[in-house]
Amino acid sequence: MIKGPFFLGVDGGGTGCRARIEDASGRVLGQGLAGPATTRLGIEKAWAEIITASTGALEEAGLGQPDLEHVRAGMALAGLGRKGALEALSNCPHEFAEVVFVNDGLGACLGAHSGQDGAIVIAGTGSVGIGIVGSQELRVGGYGFPISDEGSGAFLGLNTVRAALRAHDGREESTALLAEVMKKFGDDPMEVVRWMDQASATDYAAFAPAVLRHAEQGDPAARQTVQAAAGEIDTLVRALLAQGAPRISLLGGLASPLEPWLAHDVRRRLKPADGDAVSGAILLARRTGDKLETM
């Protein structure tokens, strides 16, 4: 049996689940991967993927079932705020010494600033601003597409499809981007309507790479849409700064593409993230362990 204590961090999101285990000195012992672990897929499904990823990390670390009583786990999960989710997860059977849960955004914020005060803006399929200042948790936006998630990939797609329809009608000038979008629908606006009836935020966000590509090539419609998205991210950052966040990291799949489009004052306030949501989950597990040892 390998000597503990050990700290397991899990990041369970809508696209996959990652786990990492470290020893008391912070040395990485093992990592594991599994499928989506958001609670939106159901508690049983989410927990099964969490266990799969955790087991992979434990096996890579050379740890077995007898070692679990020395493992403290932190789990940063998407959809934790859904009604009854935390209670249901807390009742899932396990043999860890301790398990503590936090939503994935807060876990990412903890990891980004090594547990210190700070905030993050996530720009991916959706968008949200999350921060920690003292004992206060900050949240700006992120209420879901289409009513929120401004500056996100879905935002880029929605505005582009709207502009493509306007250009098709002659209400604004067509561009290479807008023509490309309409071509996907056979230049038939009613095909766009049919698609819209079933389209998700992810479907809209699928247009984001084309929008960014055309923006770099100087397409005026693409540039206008990207600049609008960057303006929304600027607003999220400034709102978090106004609420006392001393530092902010920009995360997500659109972080790098959008950063050059941000206002100069916003770009100056951004800092690279120290770590990810798994790092935040491990930090949470360590803090829990410290509290238990001092009791």
pLDDT of residue 289: 56
pLDDT of residue 89: 96
Q: Is 193 exposed, middle or buried (0-12, 13-18, 19+ CB in 10 A)?
A: exposed
Q: Give the C-alpha separation, 158 to 265, whole Å.
A: 27
Nearest to 164 by CA among 124, 224, 228: 224
To the nearest 10 degrees (0 to 180), the angle between helices 220-242 and 208-216 is 110
Nearest to 24 by CA among 74, 70, 76: 70
Q: How confident is the model at residue 286 (pLDDT cuts 50, 70, 90)?
A: very high
- CATH 3.30.420.40 domain extents, the chain: 6-114+275-293, 153-269
CATH classification (class only), 6-114+275-293: alpha beta
Instruction: Report phi then psi at 249, rounded to 5.
Output: -115, 140
- Cβ atoms of 251 and 121 within 8 Å: the answer is yes
Instruction: Point out the least confidently predicted range of 9-13, 142-146, 168-172.
Output: 142-146
Q: At 88, which amino acid appears?
A: A
62: phi > 0 → left, psi -120 to 50 → alpha, else beta; which?
left
**The pTM is what?**
0.87
- Cβ atoms of 66 and 97 within 8 Å: the answer is no
To the nearest 10 degrees (0 to 180), the angle between helices 176-184 and 208-216 is 160
**Residue 185, CA distances (Å) to 165, 182, 189, 196 in order:** 11, 5, 7, 11
Beta strands across the sheet bearing 136-140: 136-140, 127-133, 118-123, 248-251
Superfamily of domain 153-269: ATPase, nucleotide binding domain (3.30.420.40)
Q: Give the C-alpha separation, 33 to 20, whole Å.
A: 9
Q: Give the C-alpha separation, 26 to 5, whole Å.
A: 11
Q: How confident is the model at residue 295 (pLDDT cuts 50, 70, 90)?
A: very low
Q: How confident is the model at residue 290 (pLDDT cuts 50, 70, 90)?
A: low
